[in-house]
Amino acid sequence: MRLALDVAPLRNPAFRRVFLARTVALFGIGFVMVAVPLQVFALTGSTAGVAFVSVAVGGSALAGTMLGGMLADRGDRRRLIIGARATAAIAFAVLAGNALLPEPQLWVIYLCGIAEGVANGVSGSALMAATPSIVPRDKLAAAGALMAVMADLGSVAAPALGGLLVSATGFWGNYAVCAVAGTLTVTLLGRLPPLPPPETATRESLPQALRAVAGYVRRDRIVGPTLLAGLVAGLLSGWNVLLPAFGQEVLGLRPDGLGLLYAAPAAGALVGSLTSGWMGSVARPGRFVMGALLLSGAGLVVVGLTGWFAVAIAGLVLFGAGRVVGDVLRYTIVQEHTPDQYRGRLAALWSAQITVGVSLGAAAAGGLSAFVPAGGAFPVYGALGMAGAVVLALLLSTLRRLRRS
């Protein structure tokens, strides 16, 4: 059984540019992932406030994914991706300016977070829709694993460095680096060739196009259940809302230590991605998708068991390993079973199920924090996620029995 990461898609110049640009972009996103919740918590002193900004960003990203999916089926995906990333770079620059004010404005953080969410949604949908036109079908799993490695490499280092930057320069320095990364991303993407939509590009109105793809997902016995499994995986990903209070009240951490906690899931995911060679040949991918959900939930339970920093790191690493296995396998299943005429809109639904799941998970975590002490929130949250995974496995028999030909 092959374990080593398959790097064959990187021989394609277009995919290689996307890979590099996305890596740089995710460094910026990783920095913001630390700075925004810390700044909101510093301004409000409220975990609910952190949860609320996460929900606002998630809602805007959902709108962006739907818009991006529609536009990706109608026009040049290269222009769409570049425009979205340029918008994110501007939002980062505004956040840096706001952080330099004597009294930073909370509404500016929300506004820029919403703008960034829309940009991330649009670019994510367009990029996923374009990938099958760049990468051969038999290398889609490898491309998905490389995308995961790309995300994890940025996510391992960026949150830790972002926490150090907040400690050293304040929030403005963190955001300024994000703005520079956004500019570099646009420069790299500018060298891509045109990425036109399929020849069967939709010309339907927005309601008609959405009804068509919704009908397909409802009828298909593989893609629909896979998206539902992704929604549950997203619900398990609202844990970051709990970290500011958990890190300060239970572990007594400063921002640099908290950055290490944010980076830990990416470290686990990176290990999983680098040993992902076996995923392209899994005969029963649906079963591994369900097992990955259980592994992620178990990792979150471990986080809050002892109140020890090392154990919390280990639990988040375990969560990240389970997350990446599920992500890559679900990505491959959807790409292999989606007809060309639905790729853009399915890419939007793919991003939407993640965004909705994470936003609902963040809201649930924020609500849970009002009833459960910071030290017990992680075990309760993880146990609920594991219960949801068991229920899902029992209900989605077609996905559980899926056999790759």
Distance CA 296, CA 265 (A): 10
Residue pLDDT, tens place only, 240-274: 888 888 888 888 777 767 778 887 887 888 788 77
The token pair that represents 402 in the structure block:
């899926």
Contacts of 370 (CB under 8 A, 6+ apart): 48
Has residue 89 got a pLDDT over 80?
yes
Q: What is the mean pLDDT of the chain?
A: 83
Distance (Å, whole) CA 35 – CA 167: 10
Instruction: Tell me the CA distances in angstroms from 302 to 162, 295, 313, one per residue in order.
Output: 25, 11, 9
For residues 319 and 159, the model is more confident at 319
How many CB atoms are located within 10 Å of the residue 390 CB? 13
pLDDT at 344 over 90: no
337 vs 110: CA distance, rounded Å:
37
Are 120 and 64 within 8 A, CB to CB? yes
Helix or strand run (H / E) with residue 312: helix 309-337
Does position 366 have pLDDT exceeding 80, yes or no?
A: yes
Report residue 42's pLDDT band, with 50, 70 and 90 as the boundaries: confident
Using pLDDT thresholds of 50, 70 and 90, give the confidence band for residue 152: low
Predicted local distance difference test score (pLDDT) of residue 93: 93
Selection from 365, 359, 378 nearest residue 300 by Cα: 378
Give the containing element (helix H, strand E) for 370: none
pLDDT band at 203 (very low <50, low <70, confident <90, very high): low
Please determine, for residue 275, whether its predicted confidence score (pLDDT) is greater than 90: no
Condensed to tens digits (0 to 9), the pLDDT of residues 333-342 reads 888 888 777 7
pLDDT on residue 90: 94
How do residues 115-140 score in pLDDT, each as one tens digit? 988 898 888 888 888 887 788 777 77
pLDDT at 201: 58
Q: Once rounded to an integer, what is the mean pLDDT over residues 191-220? A: 75
* 236 pLDDT above the threshold of 70: yes
Q: What percent of the chain has pLDDT over 90?
A: 10
Where is 75: in which H helix or E strand? Answer: none
Is pLDDT of 322 > 80? yes
Instruction: Indicate whether 91 pLDDT > 90.
Output: yes
**Phi, then psi, of 305 in degrees rounded to 5:** -70, -40
- pLDDT at position 66, please? 82
**Contact call for residues 368 and 238 (beta carbons, < 8 A):** no
Confidence at residue 4, expressed as pLDDT on a 0 to 100 scale: 67
pLDDT higher than threshold 70 for residue 214: yes
Which pTM does this prediction carry?
0.71
Tell me what pLDDT residue 296 has: 92
